[in-house]
Structure formats: C-alpha cells, structure tokens
Structure 1
Amino acid sequence: MLDAALSSYGAQVVLAISSDENHPPENIIDGKTETFWISTGMFPQEFIIRFPDNMNIITVSIHSYNIKRMRIEKGTSEDADKFEAVADTEFEQTEGSLQANDISVSYISKI
C-alpha cells in the first residue's frame, strides 16, 4: 500500500503550531523511524499535511508518546480554513511507552 503522506510523494507539512528546532514538523512525513516531531507548546497541538493530489485515505497510522486524543480533519480549500472531522479517537495511555495506532478513515480529499 502506498504511504501517500511521505515527502517523497509530494506531501508537505504546511502548518505546525509548535516545534523543537532539533525535531521539526517535516520529520512527520520523512518516512524515517529514527526521526520525529516534538511539540513545545500548550495543548492542543495541530499540524496540517497537504497532499499534491486528491487522495483516498483509508488508514492513518500514528506512532507517538503521551497522546491522549487525536482528531483527524479533512479540508479541500486551498486556504486551509474550513475542515470537517473524519475521525476522533482516544488513545490508550502507555506510561511513556510507544503508542502505535491505526485510525480508520475513509474519504477523498485534497489537503
């Protein structure tokens, strides 16, 4: 299955609320397991990934630490100003261990 949310396929992080200079938001989509994004601000955190073309997204895989809740939204506006929720899930708390979650969504979107 194609991982369309990789920078090598043209995906871009166009917004991140906060980040650490050593762990920038671009790490979200670089495909490397040894890199990651760290947010440094208050909650909630937010980032936007833009795809180069319309995508039929079935599953979003998230590997994280200390995430309580994730909401996934889609947007089709070039201005990225209107979004619609497509998934909202609570994560199991793992006390500092890796959280690996596959979130089922099904929509066609240009984000």
Structure 2
Amino acid sequence: MAKVLMSTSYDPNFPPENVLTNNTKEFWMSTGLFPQEILLSLSSPSTPRNLRLACSNVRHVVIEGCEGNHLGNFTKVGETEIGSNGGDIQKETVDLNVSRPVNFLKIVFLSGWDEFISVHLVKVD
C-alpha cells in the first residue's frame, strides 16, 4: 500500500491523502499553479507496471521513481497526455518503465486544461 508523503498544494478540505481512499467523491485539489506534485512512499521496494489515475482537468503528467530509502535521484518512469473532457472525471492508466525496485513515486502534473486540477484516485499496480 502506498502512503502520501508530500504534495505541493494543501487544503484541509481536500488533503492529498484523499487520492488513496478508493472513494472518488474525496479528492485532492491543486492551488492553480503548475507544476504540481504528489509524492508517494511505497510499502516496500517494487517494480510497478502502471499507475492508474482518476482526475479532472489534468493535461500532462510525468511519473518519476526513486530507488533506495532516501529521497534523492528521481528518474522518469512514465508520461502521458490526457485529453480534455470538459471537467468530467478522467480515467487514465500510465504504463511505467521501472527496471529496478523503487521505494518512492512522484506524480508531476505539468499542465492542466484549467487553472485547477483534482485527483480522485491513485492506484499503483
């Protein structure tokens, strides 16, 4: 199971931990500037194959991974562009290219279709 360590935006009404609840009515909301990030700690080193997102107004996402027990050198392991759908929930699976076990994943939202984005669900498979 993953755990949220940090996000670049924080609103007590929409905390970043909401992305892991499996309830799409709970979500994390950005502050409106880009890039935005969510940093996840994995429960054990692993080589995930994909990352599933349920979000809104997200346009360009990069996923980075970090080996070892200390935050440091992140490398890009996935990237996608998500088409606009008028603010409705977007469901996207990002294929990951992880060749060595990682302890941390960083989701970097480089741009959105609006000033604000929301992330309703993050699943690491």
TM over 0.5: yes
Aligned partner of 1:30 among 14, 21, 24: 21
Does residue 71 (structure 1) correspond to residue 65 (structure 2)? The answer is no
Aligned partner of 1:92 among 65, 70, 83: 83
Amino acid at match of 2:12: E
| Structure (1/2) with the larger strand percentage | 2
1:89 is displaced (CA, Å) by 1.1
1:80 is displaced (CA, Å) by 1.4
1:82 is displaced (CA, Å) by 1.3
Counterpart Cα distance in 2 of 1:18 and 1:61: 21
Counterpart Cα distance in 1 of 2:68 and 2:6: 15
Q: TM-score scaled by structure 2?
A: 0.75
Where structure 1 has 5 or more consecutive residues not aligned to the other structure, the ranges are 1-8
Amino acid at match of 1:60: L
Counterpart Cα distance in 2 of 1:91 and 1:19: 23
1:76 is displaced (CA, Å) by 1.4
Amino acid at match of 1:16: S
The answer to whether the Cα contact below 8 Å between 1:58 and 1:104 also exists between their aligned partners in 2 is yes
1:33 is displaced (CA, Å) by 2.2
Where structure 2 has 5 or more consecutive residues not aligned to the other structure, the ranges are 105-125
The answer to whether the Cα contact below 8 Å between 2:65 and 2:74 also exists between their aligned partners in 1 is yes
Identical counterparts, % of pairs: 27
Counterpart Cα distance in 2 of 1:39 and 1:45: 7
What SS is found at the alignment partner of 1:19? coil
Does residue 16 (structure 1) correspond to residue 7 (structure 2)? The answer is yes
Counterpart Cα distance in 2 of 1:96 and 1:59: 24
Look up the match of 1:5: none
The answer to whether the Cα contact below 8 Å between 1:74 and 1:84 also exists between their aligned partners in 2 is yes
Q: CA RMSD in A?
A: 1.4
The answer to whether the Cα contact below 8 Å between 2:78 and 2:94 also exists between their aligned partners in 1 is yes
Q: RCO (CA 8 Å, sep 6+): is it higher in 1 or 2?
A: 2
